[in-house]
Amino acid sequence: VDFTPVLEAVKAHSADLSPVLGAIEDSASGLAALQKAVTGHFAQVNEAIVANHVDINLKPVLAAVEHCRTEADFSSVLEAIDVVRAEVRDAGKKEPDLSSVLGAIEKSKGEAHGRFARVLEAIE
């Protein structure tokens, strides 16, 4: 697989994408490192969920990230985030304030979509 267009798109991006760029450039362990870099974007979501003692399953999101190791398509990650967001909203009907969880999910989804938009364009 030729990642040259992807690398050029990532290099052109103004944000610090060094974890993602480093993951792509490392051909031996690039996919695993890319998975780790993407998973890192969900740390704030997980922290907010834990802080609010909400029983939300992030496994679908992580499974979608795992799937991206072989498929250069991040739509499954974004779909999994939407599922988790729906679970959080359902839990929000029972809990008094889950705004920090929803905010963290929105932020992570926005960052993931924003940071990978050029990568997705280059892949397409």
Assess contact for 41 and 57: CB atoms under 8 A.
Answer: no
Name the percent of the chain lying above pLDDT 70. Answer: 28
3-state DSSP assignment of residue 53: coil
Predicted local confidence at residue 12, as pLDDT:
67
Q: Judge if pTM exceeds 0.95.
A: no
Query: What are the C-alpha distances in Å from 53 to residues 21, 41, 90?
Result: 35, 20, 14
Measured distance CA(37)–CA(41) in Å, rounded:
7
Single-letter amino acid code for the residue at 33: A
Single-letter amino acid code for the residue at 51: A
pLDDT in tens, 4-59: 776 677 666 655 556 655 655 554 455 566 666 666 766 667 677 667 666 666 67
pLDDT in tens, 66-77: 766 665 666 766
Assess contact for 87 and 57: CB atoms under 8 A.
Answer: yes
